[in-house]
Amino acid sequence: MALRPDDAPPHAVRTPPPSGGQDLHTVTESLVTFKNGVDQILADLEHSDASHTRIRDQIITKAAFGADHFPEAADISAAYDEVHDRLATLSQLLGDQLEAMGITVDMARHGYEDVDADQAQRLMSIQRRTQQYVDRLNRKGVTPADPATTTGHRPPDPVGDAKQASDI
């Protein structure tokens, strides 16, 4: 079998031509799709009753619980106020994180050099507010990453459980 000058030698590995541009295009499309989804979720949240501004406006006074007539109502009112505050904070944090994801996807898509000052300022503001929330929890002795803070029980430790079983 004779080889022509433009034929690859028989031992050469044939590989497809590089397609980095196509792969990059696919990643960019995925980021855009993701960002659009995040933007839609954020818009839906802001226009719903779960919006942090609407939650903050939904207040029930102590008198509505009958606190003037029996002391237990004051406890119910205090519990409501605490849950209400936590829901408003959760809504704010969720909205902030969704917005931050949208901004960072935009940054990744267009390059960090093209970040405008408003986006950078908004991202820093979200980071500051989130850090303040974490600091408040830390002052109360709550560690957000600790699963025991949400259920009151620690999940099983597979390593520790296996060690205890082997000690028997």
pLDDT given at position 45: 82
Residue length, the chain? 168
pLDDT given at position 156: 59
Q: Between vectors from CA 86 to CA 83 and to CA 91, what angle results, nearest 5°?
A: 125
- Say yes or no to pLDDT of 13 above 70: no
Summarize pLDDT for 107-151 with one digit per residue, the tens: 888 787 778 888 889 999 999 999 999 999 889 888 766 555 555
- Token pair for 131: 């850090």
**DSSP conformation class of 6:** T
- Token pair for 63: 């008198």
Q: Are 67 and 93 in contact (CB under 8 A)?
A: no
Q: Are 109 and 28 in contact (CB under 8 A)?
A: yes
CA distance 52 to 93: 9
- Report the SS3 class of residue 60: coil
Minimum mean pLDDT among 48-57, 69-78, 115-124, 147-156: which range? Answer: 147-156
**DSSP conformation class of 144:** T
pLDDT given at position 128: 95
- pTM for this model (two decimals): 0.58
Q: Pick from 103, 86, 93, 82: which is nearest to 45 by CA? A: 93
